[in-house]
Amino acid sequence: MNAKVVVVGSLNMDLVARAQRLPRGGETLAGESFFTVPGGKGANQAVAAARLGASVAMVGNVGDDAYGQQLRRALEVEGIDCQGVGVCSGVSSGVALIVVDAASQNAIVIIPGGNGLLGPESVRRFDSLLQQAEVIICQLEVPTATVAWTLARGRELGKKVILNPAPASGPLPVEWFAHIDYLIPNESEAEALAGLPVNDLDSARRAGRRLRKMGAGKVIVTLGAQGALLVDDGEGRHFPAPEVEAVDTTAAGDTFVGGFAAGLARGLPEEQAIIVGQRAAALSVTRAGAQPSIPYLRELTP
């Protein structure tokens, strides 16, 4: 199988505890429930692309522990090629410790574990996957040097290169932009990258235009329940989100990115691919958890 979408990124196990309220420093609190869910932005986007119709390969790292085996298995059952998922000895798998209170506020600690050891050479080893791909996706939960190398290599190979700059809290290295076909930030990431406030369509458009001036090909700013804004060299286009009852927005952005990439890989025009991403993301927010909430293509209304 030739993977059309290759994701270079993180795999995390989400450890989720629910409690009435978040604990204060030094406090021990009795909670209500606990569960583990496979997540990590890279793995979520790989799962979304696979469920939404693409053949997918993942390049990443897990630790030499039970979570690592579960994370890999969660991708394999989706038919994702995991030859590029390495096992690092002496570190844990990536984990996200999440406490959610009764008002759905959360506090999160992320331990990168194996994700932090994904060097450029780990991706170079799977260059044949990049060569076969049509679409390459990166996020920012693995080392910066690895993202930089992958974006440049993707450009060199003439692939469609997507960067979901998450999590971003400041500007990106300026030399990255020329390698990116689609930069897909959410509002706060667009704000951090462009250095402009983003809180509505007009400000998102301004930020998108600034990011294009820095060298990004096209920019798609995701705006939560407000949908998504495509900023290109023309007028751009706003895609309003389907109206749904949101219960958990975890992985909404990841579902959008994976669905969009799968649409491109299936040969859809870009605007249709955005609509696939949006419909899938809207469904995902009606369900709990990261990977379990991501829908399959057959669930999307035509």
Q: DSSP secondary structure string, 67-110?
A: HHHHHHHHHHTTT-EEEEEEEETTSPPEEEEEEE-TTS-EEEEE
Q: Mark the segment that binds ligand ADP (CB under 6 A) among 13-21, 32-40, 148-156, 217-225.
A: 217-225
Report the site for ligand ADP in 136-175 (rule: CB under 6 A). Answer: 166
Answer yes or no whether residue 120 interacts with ligand ADP by CB under 6 A: no
Question: Hey, what are 299's tokens?
Answer: 């669930």
How many angstroms separate the CA atoms of 201 and 203, rounded? 6
Instruction: In angstroms, give the least distance from the CB of 45 to ligand ADP.
Output: 11
Instruction: In angstroms, give the least distance from the CB of 22 to ligand ADP.
Output: 20
Answer yes or no whether residue 126 interacts with ligand ADP by CB under 6 A: no
Instruction: In angstroms, give the least distance from the CB of 219 to ligand ADP.
Output: 13
Cα dihedral: 227, 228, 229, 232 (round 10): -150
Selected from 68, 84, 227, 259, the binder of ligand ADP by CB under 6 A is 227
Instruction: In angstroms, give the least distance from the CB of 131 to ligand ADP.
Output: 29
Instruction: Check if the beta carbon of residue 77 is closer than 8 Å to that of residue 38.
Output: no
Answer yes or no whether residue 100 interacts with ligand ADP by CB under 6 A: no
Instruction: In angstroms, give the least distance from the CB of 38 to ligand ADP.
Output: 17
Locate tokens 């390698």: which residue? 179
Closest CB to ligand ADP among 119 and 242? 242
Instruction: Tell me, yes or no, if 200 is annotated catalytic.
Output: no
Answer yes or no whether residue 225 interacts with ligand ADP by CB under 6 A: yes
How many Cβ atoms sit within 10 Å of the Cβ of residue 143? 17
Closest CB to ligand ADP among 91 and 281? 281
Answer yes or no whether residue 182 interacts with ligand ADP by CB under 6 A: no
How many angstroms separate the CA atoms of 58 and 81, rounded? 6
* Residue whose beta carbon is closest to ligand ADP: 253
- Quick check: helix, strand or coil at residue 136? strand
How many angstroms separate the CA atoms of 138 and 128, rounded? 17
Task: Mark 269-288 with x for binding to ligand ADP (rule: CB under 6 A) and - for no binding.
Answer: ---------x--xx--x---
Rg over alpha carbons for the chain, rounded to the nearest Å, is: 18
Cis peptide before 167 (omega within 30 of 0): yes
Answer yes or no whether residue 290 interacts with ligand ADP by CB under 6 A: no
How are beta strands 81-88 and 160-163 bridged, if at all? unpaired
Answer yes or no whether residue 42 interacts with ligand ADP by CB under 6 A: no
Selected from 44, 146, 150, 186, the binder of ligand ADP by CB under 6 A is 186
Distance of CA 147 to the CA centre of its chain: 13
Instruction: Check if the beta carbon of residue 150 is closer than 8 Å to that of residue 118.
Output: no
Contact residues toward ligand ADP (CB under 6 A) are 166, 186, 222-225, 227-228, 241-242, 244, 246, 249, 252-253, 256, 278, 281-282, 285
List the catalytic residues.
254
